Amino acid sequence: QKEVEQNSGPLSVPEGAIASLNCTYSDRGSQSFFWYRQYSGKSPELIMSIYSNGDKEDGRFTAQLNKASQYVSLLIRDSQPSDSATYLCAVNPGNAGNMLTFGGGTRLMVKP
Amino acid sequence: DTEVTQTPKHLVMGMTNKKSLKCEQHMGHRAMYWYKQKAKKPPELMFVYSYEKLSINESVPSRFSPECPNSSLLNLHLHALQPEDSALYLCASSQGPDSYNQAFFGQGTRLTVV
């Protein structure tokens, strides 16, 4: 059973702070990793992808991957109330095509 | 442009009805997907089409029948559904079928079975 685990939250941070979202996965052979943002009642929106160990930055978002620890994280700098959403970590095993396995999601609340 | 369009946005159907969900993308993507998402749960993969051929069926009951008429269109035919099939049905597409391709989701069809 390939699993992706996230703390369900809610994670509450004040406006302007850094939000740190974490994800662990069980399949050591996983090769690609994605973060999606999902507002209530809406569909998932891709915000970051990462494939190799280290950090990847895109605007206020930084994804971090550590394959040895089977850990991927998302940092959101200067958090805004509009960032309040559920963040889904998705992992692709890489040996059977594009089959995303999602974590349960972390609900982020950014308070003004 | 990363737009995947799904119709209808909302659908209410009886357990004896037959209905279809439609998905369309014009990004030249060659892989398309159906996911199912229950309330407060993550999306779960149902089907994968790669180059218009069904490549993955995640043990989905036969009352769900996918169809890919061409590289831009993906349908999900529904028949004899149960109330527990009520969920948000999400279509996604990616440039290719391998694992490095980013998948983009449509807005979903919220299905209620009565």
Nearest residue, CB atoms, A92 vs list B31, B99, B104: B99
pLDDT of residue A93: 79
Buried b (16+ CB within 10 A) or exposed e, A3-32: ebebeeeebebeeeeebebbbbbebeebbb
pLDDT band at B1 (very low <50, low <70, confident <90, very high): low
Supply the pLDDT for residue B36: 98
What pLDDT sits at residue A95? 67
In the predicted model, what is the mean pLDDT of residues A70-93?
Answer: 96
Contact across the interface for B42 and A103, Cβ inside 8 Å: yes
Digit-coded pLDDT (tens) for A12-48: 999 999 999 999 999 998 999 999 999 999 999 999 9
* Cα of A110 vs its chain's centroid, Å: 16
Q: Tell me which chain B residues have a C-beta less than 8 angstroms from the C-beta of A42.
A: 107-108
Query: By mean pLDDT, which of A22-26, A84-88, A97-101 is the weakest?
Result: A97-101
Angstrom CA distances, B17 to B9, B62, B87, stand at: 18, 15, 16
Q: Name the B residues in 8-47 with CB < 8 Å from any A CB.
A: 31, 33, 41-45
Q: Do the chains contact at B102 and A46, CB–CB below 8 Å?
A: yes
DSSP secondary structure string for all residues of A75-107:
EESS--GGG-EEEEEEEE-SSSSS--EE---EE
Compute the distance between CA of residue B33 and CA of residue B25 in angstroms, rounded to an integer.
11
Mutate to test the interface with A, among B44, B60, B99, B107 (most CBs of A within 10 A): B99
Which positions 28-67 of A are in contact with B (Cβ < 8 Å)?
31-32, 34, 36, 42-46, 49, 51
**Residue B6 pLDDT > 80, yes or no?**
yes
Task: Please compute, for residue B32, the number of CA atoms within 13 A of its CA located in the half-sphere on the CB side.
Answer: 31
Mean pLDDT of chain B: 95
Spell out the residues 6+ positions from residue B28 whose beta carbon is closer than 8 angstroms to its own: B71, B95
Residue A75 token pair: 């940092």
Please list every residue in chain B whose beta carbon sits closer than 8 Å to the beta carbon of residue A97: 31, 48, 50, 55-56, 97-99
Question: What CA–CA distance (Å, rounded) separates A77 from B11?
Answer: 39
pLDDT value for A81? 97
Going by the DSSP 8-state scheme, the letter that residue B27 receives in this structure is S
pLDDT band, very low/low/confident/very high, at B99 (cuts 50, 70, 90): confident
Could you give phi then psi for residue A24, rounded to 5 degrees?
Answer: -120, 155
Angstrom distance (rounded) from CA B107 to CA A50: 24
Q: For residue A97, what pLDDT band results from cuts at 50, 70 and 90? A: confident
Average pLDDT over residues B71-96: 96
Share of chain A above pLDDT 70, in %: 96
The structure tokens 């974590």 sit at A103
State how far residue B4 is from chain A, nearest Cα, in angstroms.
Answer: 11
Q: Residue A93: closest CA among chain B residues belongs to which residue? A: B99
Nearest to B75 by CA among B66, B63, B62: B66
Say what the pLDDT of residue A62 is: 98
Q: CB of B12 within 8 A of CB of A67?
A: no
pLDDT band at B4 (very low <50, low <70, confident <90, very high): very high
B66 in contact with A, Cβ within 8 Å: no
A96 touches chain B (CB under 8 A): yes
> What's the pLDDT score for residue B97?
86
State residue A1's pLDDT score.
Answer: 64
Task: Give the residue on A whose Cα is nearest the Cα of B10.
Answer: A41
pLDDT digits (tens, 9 = 90+) for B31-76: 999 999 999 999 999 999 999 999 989 899 999 999 999 999 999 9
